[in-house]
Structure 1
């Protein structure tokens, strides 16, 4: 099946990946051009031309930021799938199987690092060439804008690159990516609130009033950061709960007995082992059924010695087994396979039967 690509105008290829410009990017380009052109108080052909140059320079910096992500991903042997410019910036998608904290963190940090390189190059150009006029204004703006891009993207919260770096650091320390994502997602929420507080409460505390522009920008930034961070938090919190689900925590200890046993012998084996579940083995020593001790105890004591296990046993489909050390990554696919076919798995530790796991308990734990 062909992988679905982001919709937009394909403008070329870099490192084998399509470079895609979404239509909304052109809208942002036009809006930025107007904002820059009208900053002086009046909009003329001259200021509009400068506005377009500044807007293009900003978009170019964003594109180079994304190229840096792609270069870093390729340096780790990852296939870069696409580089996309969007209304609010851009994103780079690459092969993500077998991710490590190093690949995740370095690839994320490469974008802001590129912005700092651009800012440094622009500042050096101004220092050594003494540019003036329009050219000097554009180069100075490039330096200033890239410093802001780097600082903003390094803020320690999802969805910023700094959030991915924080995620990787926590992931490396805890050896759990979902825990890292939870920390970085909370960071994103803090940053979202911080932007609003800084933009609105800051001027009020200093005796002034926030401008309409700062309020609009704060609300827009909050509307992007908070939902993205919240979605990451919800997903990773769910995955963290699943990380704690394993066979050992859900298993009910059991003893295995041959099908030739009587109810009396099976209850004796269960009492000796101190368990409440019994697994019945077939002629080939494969699990063929199971029953709880209380079910067998319902047989009158006088009849237990002569009553076969068939009267108390619930059949277990062949193959309905799971290893004792299995965690959620094994249990979830097995649950899909066996749901509706069996109500339990027989747990084996090597060749030995050690317990049973009820599928309803697994489902409840995974929710």
Structure 2
């Protein structure tokens, strides 16, 4: 059958929320917030380093108080990054792009979108929203540093918070992926060429150049006496450079893969379903599928009420010996429907590739509202994109280093 109306289709559609990566912190403006465990390591290092500096410069401040001030600085940085990412998220939602969540991690954070921007102008606005928020926060903190008594802990705290936000805002505005400025560059090239993938590739190569420049700058700092022992700062900068290089490479590969995507929606690519009862023997299900008028159908399993339960798992079915197939019920080799393997029927192009990134070789139920269109096999889509090589996992991210 090509479509199947069932109550289980509604349940499948309602379970398509994205998995969060990290420790859930709750929701802000309706957006799920997660904290990556890597942030805890950075928090400990900054707390210790900052606390030591404060204790040294503000004698006789107790070391424990210095650590408390250091931890407060870390929390302020975390809030700053969160507001940066909320700038992306709110702008994205107002532009009609859904947001899966925000993850705060050691090198900053990222906002994951449900799909790509539909137009270059939207991409530009969403990309620059984060750096603008960081610059505004930096200016506010700088104003606080000016009005506070000079030389005190509060003024020093405000000045360093201002400096941090301004550096984040300016650095992220640089024109290279995976930075926000890279997505802005991608939008401009997209506008000029009419091809988002060309923009992504150009911004990816600029990102690689920026990564090399960042690494080179970190190494050059060791040659200057004020920084020749700033090993933590240099190591952190090198880590940022490596992350930028990897992200830029992923963007380039993503652009190449997306350019080869077929111009069809998930609904058009889905294989039709042939429904059988859960107690049907595997051999009988095979026979029913062969008699179907549809080409290459996928056997769907329905319960006694006719509600869709799952569909045949190809690997499990192939593993059953021929002599046992008449005795094995179809439900024993069926893949249950889970929220991570349900796709909207109108997904296409890069958005479709992004939707299957967690399991590129898996099978996905394709639905639109109450309508079940069929099953899209991820392995078949991947073979169309890269017949000889499995593509890396693409993602729509807004990074803040």
TM range, smaller chain: 0.5 to 0.7
- The aligned counterpart of 1:82 is 101
Cα distance change on mapping 1:14 and 1:206 into 2, 3 Å: closer
2:35 matched residue in structure 1 = 21
Is residue 156 from structure 1 mapped to residue 175 from structure 2 by the alignment? yes
Match of 1:94 in 2: 113
Seen in structure 2, the aligned counterparts of structure 1 residues 150 and 175 have a Cα distance that, compared at 3 Å, is same
- How big is the shift at 1:81? 2.1
Over 3 Å counting, the alpha-carbon distance change for 1:135 and 1:237 in structure 2 is same
How far apart are residue 220 of structure 1 and its match? 1.0
| 2:25 counterpart SS class | strand
For 1:196-275, list aligned pairs within 5 A: 196-201=215-220, 203-204=222-223, 211-240=230-259, 242=260
> What is the alpha-carbon distance in structure 1 between the residues aligned to residue 139 and residue 159 of structure 2?
11
Q: Say if 1:234 and 1:81 are closer, same or farther in 2 by CA, change over 3 A.
A: closer
CA-CA distance at 1:41 after TM superposition: 7.7
**Cα pair 2:221 2:234 within 8 Å, conserved:** no
Residue in 2 that maps onto 1:125:
144
What SS does the aligned partner of 1:12 have? strand
Distance in 2 between residues matched to 1:18 and 1:41, nearest whole Å: 37
Per the TM alignment, residue 11 of structure 1 is displaced from its structure 2 partner at its CA by: 2.0
Provide the rounded CA distance (Å) in 1 between the counterparts of 2:386 and 2:81: 44
2:90 is aligned to 71
Whole-Å separation in 2 of the counterparts to 1:13 and 1:77: 19
Q: How far does the alpha carbon of each residue in 1:193-248 deviate from its partner, in whole angstroms, 9 at most, with x for none?
A: 001111213554999957533442233122211111111112213444x38x99xx
Number of the residue aligned with 2:47: 33
Q: Deviations over 1:10-58 (max 9, x none)?
A: 2221222211222222232222111211236868112111111111111
Is the contact made by 2:174 and 2:181 (CA closer than 8 Å) also made in structure 1? Answer: yes
Moved more, 45-54 or 175-184: 45-54
Q: Quote the Cα distance in structure 1 between the aligned partners of 2:130 and 2:386.
A: 39
Question: Aligned residues, how many?
Answer: 254
Is the counterpart of residue 9 in structure 1 residue 53 in structure 2? no
Deviation at 1:162, TM superposition (A): 0.7
Inter-partner Cα distance in structure 1 for 2:77 and 2:168: 9
Greater mean deviation of Cα atoms: 126-135 or 96-105: 126-135
Which 5+ residue runs of structure 2 have no aligned equivalent?
A: 1-11, 57-61, 264-347, 354-382, 389-401
Report the CA distance shift for 1:212/1:180 in structure 2 as closer, same or farther (over 3 A): same
Distance 1:53 1:41, change over 3 A: closer
1:318-329 alignment runs, 5 A limit: none
Partners of 2:101 and 2:226 lie apart in 1 by: 48
Q: Would the aligned equivalents of 2:117 and 2:123 in 1 still touch at CA under 8 Å?
A: no
Q: Which residue matches 1:142?
A: 161
> What TM-score do the two structures reach when normalised by structure 1?
0.61
In the alignment, the residues of structure 2 paired with residue 105 and residue 75 of structure 1 have an alpha-carbon distance, to the nearest angstrom, of: 14
Residues 146, 155 of structure 2: 8 Å contact kept = no
CA distance in 1 between counterparts of 2:23 and 2:146 reads: 38
Query: Are the equivalent residues in 2 in contact too, given 1:200–1:214 (CA < 8 A)?
Result: no
Write out per-residue CA displacement over residues 101-146 of structure 1, whole angstroms, 9 at most, x where no aligned residue: 1121211110010011111112223334547632222221221111
Deviations 1:228-283 (A, max 9, x none): 1111112213444x38x99xxxxxxxxxxxxxxxxxxxxxxxxxxxxxxxxxxxxx
Distance 1:238 1:205, change over 3 A: farther
Q: Which residue of 1 aligns with 2:134?
A: 115
CA distance in 1, matches of 2:189, 2:117: 17
- Name the TM-score, length of structure 2 as normaliser: 0.56
Paired with 2:107 and 2:92, the residues of 1 have a C-alpha distance of 22
Contact 2:18-2:100 at 8 Å conserved across structures: no
Partner residue, 1:167: 186
